Amino acid sequence: MGELKNLKTKTLVDVPGNGRKSRLGLNEGSVLFSRMLVPKRVFFTKGIGSHRDELRSFELALRDAGIEKCNLVNVSSILPPGCRIIPRKKGWEALVPGQIVFCVMSRCSSNEPRRLIASSIGCAVPTDNSCYGYLSEHHSYGQTGRTAGDYAEDMAAAMLASTLGIEFDEDQNWDEKKEVFRISDKIVRTTNITQSGIVENGKYTSVMTAAVFLFD
């Protein structure tokens, strides 16, 4: 049993950058794999679709957003340190059919005629590139795109501000909070991407927004 305890399991893995396989210990391999799973880039996209079937309406919204060919995995809302925001077109170019893609997604669907629906992703980026930022998901009924976008952006900025120790009044409106965050000089950028729509008669309408992560 003593000998078994001292055995170190080795496994062959592809080590990025050297073009060959190396034999790593189990712990070393786990650390390397974890680092590989930290996204390096992110892009934002949105879409809307209408169809008599709810699932088809969502599929059409994904097509409108340009990510329908991927297997999407929803994750929670941390923007990794140093993760670069890139244009949507460049993000699309990095995707291949069938790829497993991690994303923060917000979606909303309804078949109530003339119903106003919206989905939004808010983003807050810290000034310090070694710190992580926040992404927030928000969907709503009856809110305009601007209202939903401001709400999502407010949530992301508030979460980041509380992490960075910035004092602010939760009851202030978004414009007042933005001024506090700007003066603090700890948050370099806040933004949102929002899709709104009005439900068509006799159909489901789906709206979706997403922050799509890339690992290269």
Residue 102's closest CA among 178, 43, 187, 25?
Answer: 43
Kindly report, residue by residue over 140-153, the tens digit of the pLDDT.
999 999 999 999 99
Token code pair at residue 188: 């370099």
The CATH number assigned to the domain holding 110 equals 3.50.20.10
Q: Which residues of 55-73 are buried (b: 16+ CB within 10 A; e: fewer)?
A: eebbbbbbebbbbbebebe
Do 120 and 177 fall into the same domain?
A: yes
Do 31 and 59 fall into the same domain?
A: no
In a domain, 62, yes or no: yes
- Report the domain count for the chain: 2
Residue 3 confidence (pLDDT) above 70: no
Do 105 and 198 fall into the same domain?
A: yes
Do 108 and 206 fall into the same domain?
A: yes
Do 29 and 62 fall into the same domain?
A: no
Range of the domain at 31: 10-37
Do 50 and 133 fall into the same domain?
A: yes
Token code pair at residue 164: 């960075």
User: Sign of dihedral through CA atoms 149, 153, 155, 156?
Assistant: positive
Phi-psi region of 142 (alpha: psi -120 to 50; beta: other; left: phi over 0): left
Mean pLDDT, range 28-45, rounded to an integer: 78
In a domain, 5, yes or no: no
Choice between 40 and 18, residue whose per-residue pLDDT is larger: 40
* Confidence label for 167 from pLDDT (cuts 50, 70 and 90): confident
Residue type, 31: V
In a domain, 4, yes or no: no
Cα-only R_g, the chain: 21
Residue 64 confidence (pLDDT) above 90: yes
User: Out of 27-36, 50-59, 135-144, which region has the weakest mean confidence (pLDDT)?
Assistant: 27-36
Do 55 and 91 fall into the same domain?
A: yes
Do 28 and 70 fall into the same domain?
A: no
Do 195 and 88 fall into the same domain?
A: yes
